[in-house]
């Protein structure tokens, strides 16, 4: 099949992080193979294969005998300019038959999910196929099948073991802006001598993930070896999970979930528990904030999620403790990577202006974890409080940042815009979803310094013209779009006209 070899040309195009091949409409391989504008093609360089979307180009763009590659394809094939690339029709993707079976209501087994996720990790699924899988595997998922999906996600990635115990971990199911307890909790737990090799995600549908927040203060894209040496030195780390390849399937699925803004319980549980299992944890604390505009809206839904998390955890050999927390309003003052980092530092530094709600929430979670690790039940909270007040937690946090490449101060935004109360009254309600959307339009999480700084909380009395919150943006365009969105909304803060009590 020598006639199907073409020379690699780096196009210098980032095609939304996808693999794209650019071929000339007059190319002999296109004609010989019957490729057309909707084809996907299988590319081979040495031992490396991938499937790419084919974009047909005018002759002038691609020199004769060449094939253009997007940045992602160029990296995955590890190409040199002019290197030979073999081009063929992709083999029929057998695992899509399993996706169709699930779509039409059949239950899949772990082996089915492994077959699908193996192809997903090999970048053989197009966005359309990935979305179909996510949609199919989000419906009619019960304990047994969620376990199968979770185990498959662990199986297609790397799995760590730490040879020390107990290894503790935590996760917040999200949906509550600014709920950035993790850096504080890790610092407290590690300062008490427990092992907590924490990997975090970047934001999926929120304005900041813990990895985004930590990245404003230190390096988070550590390799597995770098992560191991940080944990060996400090007993803990705070890194981005994607760079250590613990759950490569999840990282690809998240690309699609981010666009859809849809999280299902099944995908959430599989994503969270597979990451924890792969990271080598033995016991996990799950924080489930419940509130009318949080991700989980009712106590019943929270309890159901907690119970499925525990059951699936048990089936895969993971002790899970879930805490339902108050998710009625944001935690702390900042929403967005750098603004949340400032809140975290204020708490760790025991500053008088530190947000009390964030401090309390972090101490409760740290206390739970200490008890999961072996501290006598009823003693956890007090132990955590001592560790924080004494400055031990701050020292541990800075030591972890130092081990990860050094501590730096979070940046500040170039543009600020205060939004004020339209009348006198008491703050009765706040819409977390609109706040999150607003922070994202202002540029979070891609722009570290962007987001929202809150000045009031539920129950506060405000007077007309007093600032409720301040928008932070790093470009004028983003500030403009956030303000345009704000104009379209009803009140984000509901202010009742009755007297403050």
Q: Is 360 in the site for its own copies (CB under 8 A)?
A: no
CA dihedral of residues 486, 182, 246, 240 (deg, nearest 10): 60
Binding mask 199-238 for its own copies (x = CB under 8 A): ----------------------------------------
Nearest approach, Cβ of residue 15 and its own copies (Å): 5
Choose the stretch contacting its own copies; rule: CB under 8 A; options: 151-159, 161-169, 229-237, 443-451. Answer: 443-451
- Give the residue ranges of DSSP H helices in 50-109: 71-77, 95-103
Is 263 tagged catalytic?
A: yes
Q: Of 276, 268, 271, 250, nearest to 197 (Cα)? A: 276
Q: Which is nearer to its own copies, 132 or 347 (CB)?
A: 132
Q: Which is nearer to its own copies, 395 or 476 (CB)?
A: 476
Among 50, 121, 136, 370, indicate the residue that binds its own copies (CB under 8 A): 136
Q: Which is nearer to its own copies, 52 or 278 (CB)?
A: 52
| Contacts of residue 56, Cβ cutoff 8 Å, sequence gap at least 6 | 23, 24, 25, 30, 35, 36, 37
User: What's the rounded Cα separation, in Å, for the pair 217 and 214?
Assistant: 5
Angle between helices 299-315 and 265-278 (to 10 degrees): 40
User: What's the rounded Cα separation, in Å, for the pair 82 and 239?
Assistant: 37
User: What are the φ/ψ torsions at residue 96 (nearest 5 degrees)?
Assistant: -65, -25
Among 48, 106, 258, 412, indicate the residue that binds its own copies (CB under 8 A): 258
Among 467, 485, 486, 494, indicate the residue that binds its own copies (CB under 8 A): 485
Nearest approach, Cβ of residue 400 and its own copies (Å): 29
Q: Is 422 in the site for its own copies (CB under 8 A)?
A: no
Q: Which is nearer to its own copies, 32 or 111 (CB)?
A: 32
Among 195, 443, 454, 471, indicate the residue that binds its own copies (CB under 8 A): 443
Among 350, 481, 483, 494, indicate the residue that binds its own copies (CB under 8 A): 481
Tokens at residue 394, please? 């701050």
DSSP designation for 140: S
Q: Given the DSSP bridges, would you call strands 20-24 and 168-172 parallel, antiparallel or unpaired? A: unpaired
Q: Of 178, 147, 102, nearest to 347 (Cα)? A: 178
User: What's the rounded Cα separation, in Å, for the pair 397 and 266?
Assistant: 33
Question: Cis omega before residue 166 (within 30°)?
Answer: yes
Q: How many residues bind its own copies (CB under 8 A)?
A: 63
Please check whether residue 283 is in contact with residue 372, taking contact to mean a CB–CB distance below 8 angstroms.
Answer: yes
- Give the residue ranges of DSSP H helices in 125-264: 127-136, 143-155, 182-191, 210-215, 224-234, 248-260
Nearest approach, Cβ of residue 91 and its own copies (Å): 8
Q: Which is nearer to its own copies, 251 or 343 (CB)?
A: 251
Nearest approach, Cβ of residue 451 and its own copies (Å): 13
Nearest approach, Cβ of residue 220 and its own copies (Å): 18
Q: Which 461-480 residues touch its own copies, going by CB under 8 A? A: 473-478
DSSP designation for 141: -
Ramachandran category for residue 77: left, alpha or beta (phi over 0 → left; psi -120 to 50 → alpha): alpha
Q: Which is nearer to its own copies, 340 or 474 (CB)?
A: 474
Q: Which is nearer to its own copies, 263 or 371 (CB)?
A: 263
Binding mask 76-95 for its own copies (x = CB under 8 A): ------------xx--x---
Nearest approach, Cβ of residue 422 and its own copies (Å): 23
Q: Is 259 in the site for its own copies (CB under 8 A)?
A: yes
User: What's the rounded Cα separation, in Å, for the pair 103 and 221?
Assistant: 36
User: What's the rounded Cα separation, in Å, for the pair 440 and 63?
Assistant: 41
Helix/strand/coil (H/E/C) assignment for every residue in 241-298: HHHHCCCHHHHHHHHHHHHHCCCCHHHHHHHHHHHHHHCCCCEEEEEEEECCCCCECC
Among 5, 57, 143, 455, indicate the residue that binds its own copies (CB under 8 A): 57
Binding mask 295-334 for its own copies (x = CB under 8 A): ----------------------------------------
Choose the stretch contacting its own copies; rule: CB under 8 A; options: 48-56, 331-339, 366-374, 463-471. Answer: 48-56
Q: Which is nearer to its own copies, 131 or 350 (CB)?
A: 131
Nearest approach, Cβ of residue 477 and its own copies (Å): 4
Among 112, 119, 251, 263, the active-site one is: 263
Among 200, 447, 448, 449, indicate the residue that binds its own copies (CB under 8 A): 447
Q: Which is nearer to its own copies, 33 or 234 (CB)?
A: 33
Please check whether residue 448 is in contact with residue 338, taking contact to mean a CB–CB distance below 8 angstroms.
Answer: yes
Using CB under 8 A, list all residues that contact its own copies.
4, 11-17, 20, 22, 31-34, 36-38, 53-58, 60-61, 88-89, 92, 96, 100, 103, 126-132, 135-136, 138-139, 255-256, 258-262, 437, 441, 443, 446-447, 450, 473-478, 481, 485
Catalytic positions: 263
């Amino acid at each position: 099949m020598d006639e199907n070899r073409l020379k690699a040309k780096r196009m210098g195009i980032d095609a939304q992080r996808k693999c794209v091949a650019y071929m000339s409409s007059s190319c002999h391989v296109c004609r010989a193979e019957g490729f057309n504008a909707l084809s996907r093609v299988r590319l081979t360089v040495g031992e490396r294969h991938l499937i790419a979307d084919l974009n047909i180009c005018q002759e002038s763009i691609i020199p004769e005998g060449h094939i253009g590659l997007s940045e992602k394809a160029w990296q995955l094939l590890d190409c040199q300019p002019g290197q030979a690339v073999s081009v063929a029709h992709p083999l029929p993707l057998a695992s899509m038959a399993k996706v169709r079976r699930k779509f039409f209501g059949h239950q899949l087994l772990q082996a089915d999910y492994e077959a699908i996720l193996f192809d997903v990790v090999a970048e053989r699924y197009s966005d359309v196929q990935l979305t179909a899988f996510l949609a199919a595997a989000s419906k009619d998922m019960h304990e047994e099948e969620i376990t199968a999906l979770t185990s498959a996600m662990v199986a297609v990635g790397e799995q760590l073991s730490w040879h020390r115990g107990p290894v503790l971990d935590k996760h917040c199911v999200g949906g509550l802006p600014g709920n950035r307890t993790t850096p504080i909790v890790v610092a407290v737990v590690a300062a008490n001598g427990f092992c907590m090799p924490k990997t975090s995600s970047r934001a999926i549908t929120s304005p900041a993930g813990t990895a985004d927040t930590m990245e404003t203060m230190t390096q988070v894209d550590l390799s597995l070896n770098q992560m191991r040496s940080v944990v060996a030195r400090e007993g803990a780390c705070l890194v981005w999970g994607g760079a250590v390849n613990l759950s490569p399937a999840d990282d690809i699925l998240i690309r699609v979930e981010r666009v859809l803004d849809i999280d299902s319980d099944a995908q959430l549980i599989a994503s969270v528990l597979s990451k924890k299992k792969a990271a080598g944890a033995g016991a996990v604390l799950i924080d489930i904030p419940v509130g009318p505009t949080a991700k989980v809206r009712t106590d019943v839904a929270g309890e159901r999620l907690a119970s499925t998390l525990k059951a699936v955890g048990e089936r895969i050999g993971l002790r899970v403790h879930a805490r339902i927390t108050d998710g009625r309003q944001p935690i702390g003052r900042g929403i967005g990577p750098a603004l949340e980092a400032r809140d975290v530092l204020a708490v760790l530094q025991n500053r008088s202006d530190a947000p009390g709600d964030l401090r309390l929430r972090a101490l409760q979670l740290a206390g739970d974890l200490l008890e999961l690790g072996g501290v006598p039940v009823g003693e956890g909270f007090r132990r955590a409080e001592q560790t924080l007040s004494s400055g031990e937690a701050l020292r541990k946090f800075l030591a972890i940042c130092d081990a990860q490449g050094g501590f730096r101060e979070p940046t500040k935004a170039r543009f600020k815009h205060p939004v004020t109360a339209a009348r006198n009254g008491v703050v009765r309600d706040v819409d977390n979803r609109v706040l999150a959307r607003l922070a994202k339009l202002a540029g979070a999480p891609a722009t570290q310094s962007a987001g929202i700084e809150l000045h009031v909380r539920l129950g506060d009395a405000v007077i007309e013209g007093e600032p409720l919150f301040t928008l932070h943006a790093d470009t004028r365009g983003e500030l403009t779009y956030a303000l345009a969105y704000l104009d379209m909304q009803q009140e984000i803060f509901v202010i009742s006209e009755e007297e403050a009590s």
